[in-house]
Chains A and B, each alone.
Chain A
């Protein structure tokens, strides 16, 4: 069954608004038109593209209406029971200082009363379907561009949520959204979440987006047996003078692949502190697209990743400055061991109107084994003459001076190596100024490291 036919079947469901059907139809048509990513495409040159077609094409084709789907689930869910189970199994991830919302298999798990969303004085989170019906979002949130995987995602766009931070709202607690995907044999192996965030004028918020895969509700993120593919999109709009701290955290087990797209637009005098943390044994790709739609915006774009075994951290990044006096500091760091790989394509474009842009880009990789590999490619296109733009890339091993310094204080070489690796990963967390978040992230990093690496 091809995707167009499949989307038609989805469209035939009762109560399906015409707009949805139209969007899905366009997307599935685009999906069929576009070629699969291949190594002939510059942004996919080093990526394990064979995994898309080889391992998962049959699964895409096999998805049909009788598979479990968030909107077609015939068995009513016991939300309270599921929430209790999930919260118990995710206790290490849930911090009481955060407002935590769990989204399991594309469905928000709150309570029976609020299964369609959560509305507070400062923010609301509802399904994309409702947001579209209520006119809270328009078709710009559903563009496929020329991206086959985006088109694939949009063909299922119901599996998603819309978060609106209200105008001038200052969220006291960080919002933590945990996306949980089960990869056991009874579940759909292809997840297509779509997450749209709108930070209204003058708002301030901290948002943590965690993506995890489990083999069952009871187990934790590791030891996953089945293979699965998460193909999701985050779409963030930061309006004038709004300030968003946006943290994306993902743990990608072996045999799982995660092709994510993060699109962010910034308007006048807005601020973004973006921090991505990746722990990967499978394939994690995050296409980061950032564009300014106003002047005087400030961005900190940070990412740290740790990959082991056959893991691949794949990070195409595109930052476009279309207006004047915007600032951006981009630092991406990866720690690689075994035969894992990191791919970084860092593209920065400063348009003619981007005068007084001040941006820097740095990609640092630490290789802990002789078989780990890094492919890094910075690319700057500058069409304005009064700008500051720098880029750099370093690839190396642990600093011998740091090693000796710590050893000369009585710490064993093995322990020093571990401390320095953790320090490499944790460094960027300290840049976050939001109370409680750096410590939370550091404890997550430490836990992952102690469990899986030592």
Chain B
């Protein structure tokens, strides 16, 4: 699905990624853990195409129509339309733009890109409401401004709602569990699990093992100082929970 090779990136003068290598196949879920400032969120933003980051070395190959394509050469909106999705650690508030309008425009762009028929506004509302039930969101959130006045948990649910509406092939969940209480975590995780298929892949970024109790990863990686320093199965997360990162650094 996606192959990251020797990826180096910087923001301003600061190097944040220093040679990441990662191969994620269709249907796999990978978790990335690591201490604060290790480059986890930077990796997610580089993959999504954030303009503040400059890739200085390496490549990212992404499967598009059974061909390996240079993901870094695509604009952020094209990456998204090709199925790359980033669920934000801190979802942005956008006053004045309704959640419905936002989702509908994103969905229309996706349909247009893939040559699919456009869905009528009324039909899309029905479709979106159905997806909202997946993350236990109240219907009124559809007509409110994007993330404005949402609690931390509601913002995270809204991210997963977007994921559900857009059905991405490769999703990066950046600390989706942060700021969630136990019930909200379960609801969000259930939502994510329902969206998992043999054809899509997930990269989970988290600080805590508890999320991995709900969304079981196939691989766990430890990122430190911009590089992956350890890879294992889900037992690695338990070990990290018990021992911390010191033994690896």
Contact = CB atoms under 8 A, between A and B. Distances in A.
B145 A410 contact: no
A402 B91 CA distance: 10
Given A419-B105, A422-B97, A427-B145, A407 B92 contact: no
Interface stretch (B11-19, B46-54, B189-197, B210-218): B46-54
B81 A410 contact: yes
A408 B171 CA distance: 12
Contact of A427 (B80, B95, B102): B95
B109 interface: yes
Contacts of B50: 404
Interface string B16-57: 000000000000000000000000000000001111100000
Contact of A406 (B48, B51, B95, B102): B102
A379 to B, nearest CB: 27
A401 interface: yes
B76 A423 contact: no
Size class of the A contact interface (CB-based, 8 Å): 20 to 34
Contact of B77 (A413, A424, A426, A427): A413
A434 B220 CA distance: 53
Given A405-B88, A430-B145, A411 B96 contact: no
A416 B106 CA distance: 10
A408 B94 contact: no
A448 to B, nearest CB: 15
Chain B CB count within 10 A is highest, among A401, A407, A415, for A407
Contact of B109 (A412, A422, A423, A430): A412
A425 B81 CA distance: 28
A135 interface: no
Nearest to B97: A423
Nearest to B148: A427
B80 A410 contact: yes
A408 B105 CA distance: 12
B96 A407 contact: no
Interface string A369-408: 0000000000000000000000000000000111011111
B95 A423 contact: yes
A409 B49 CA distance: 11
A407 B145 contact: no
Contact of B94 (A402, A410, A413): A402
A416 B109 CA distance: 11
A404 B51 contact: yes
A400 to B, nearest CB: 7
A420 interface: yes
A415 B92 contact: no
B105 A415 contact: yes
A125 B151 CA distance: 47
B74 to A, nearest CB: 11
Contacts of B110: 410
B92 A402 contact: yes
Nearest to B111: A410
A410 B106 contact: yes
B209 to A, nearest CB: 28
Interface string B68-108: 00000001110111000110100110111100011001100
A409 B96 contact: no
B113 A423 contact: no
A409 B166 contact: yes
Contacts of A411: 77, 105-106, 109
B162 interface: yes
30 contacts: A400-B51, A400-B52, A401-B92, A402-B92, A404-B50, A405-B91, A406-B102, A407-B75, A407-B77, A408-B48, A408-B76, A408-B80, A408-B86, A409-B102, A409-B162, A409-B166, A411-B105, A412-B109, A413-B75, A416-B77, A419-B101, A419-B102, A419-B105, A422-B97, A423-B97, A423-B145, A424-B96, A426-B97, A427-B95, A430-B145
Interface of A: 400-402, 404-413, 415-416, 419-420, 422-427, 430
